[in-house]
Amino acid sequence: MDELVVMRRKEAMTTSMIVAEAFGKKHDYVLKAIDKVMGRLVKKNERQSQKMFFESEEKANDGQMHRMFYMNRDGFTLLAMGFTGEKAFEFKLKYIAAFNKMEKFITEKQSAEYLEARAAGKRIRREETDAIKELTEYAKEQGSQHPEKYYKIYSDLANKIAGVKKREQANITQIATISVAEKAISTIIKQDMSEGYHYKDIYKDAKDRTQPLKDISVLTVGGDTT
């Protein structure tokens, strides 16, 4: 399981489906538990349930839309009170850490430093996009059948160097690493095209020459992506 907590409506939340998987329970069981918690809140004339639990739908493996809930930290806390046992205790601790991490990240995203890093990153991203656009035409001339895939391929390369899967989840350090990687990639692409490299060799060259950035990123972040 990659994520215990996600960002929704600029708030740290988890879902009934994630909770079910994390605690090894059937989703129906978790839904009933949430309904019970919300029912008790209603009986006490507490309207807080409207700020804790948010009913929604999600497509399941069977292709059908199924009922599910988003919940914030308070909603999860009330729900998890009913989960007992050593394994449940361990997952509660993991959830506390996950909520803390996401809430810190959300605060960071509102900072001036973060917004400046994002703006600088977008400028560099445009430079890389221009270089990749040139590469697609270059690769077509060399017989490439799917040059349109290069935008994703090179974006994924920069993401891997920074240690992120989704850019919207990148912190300031990771955004800076992505920017450095993309600047390097655009330079390598242009340089290799000018020297007549085959389009496949250009990617290999970009991957090999940007790998040291990955090691620097790991040392800088120190395993903490908050």
The residue-averaged pLDDT of 157-165 equals 91
CB–CB of 106/10 below 8 Å?
yes
The residue-averaged pLDDT of 48-69 equals 85
Q: Give the relative orientation of helices 27-43 and 73-80 as an angle to the nearest 10 degrees.
A: 100
* pTM of the full structure: 0.62
Q: pLDDT (tens digit, 9 = 90+) per residue, 81-131?
A: 989 888 899 999 999 999 998 998 888 888 888 889 889 999 999 999 999
C-alpha to C-alpha distance for 79 and 35, rounded to whole angstroms: 10
The residue-averaged pLDDT of 159-163 equals 92
Residue 177 above 60 pLDDT? yes
Domain assignments of the chain as residue spans, ordered by start: 6-109, 112-221
Phi, psi of 45 (to 5 degrees): 60, 30
Q: Please, what is the average pLDDT of the chain? A: 88
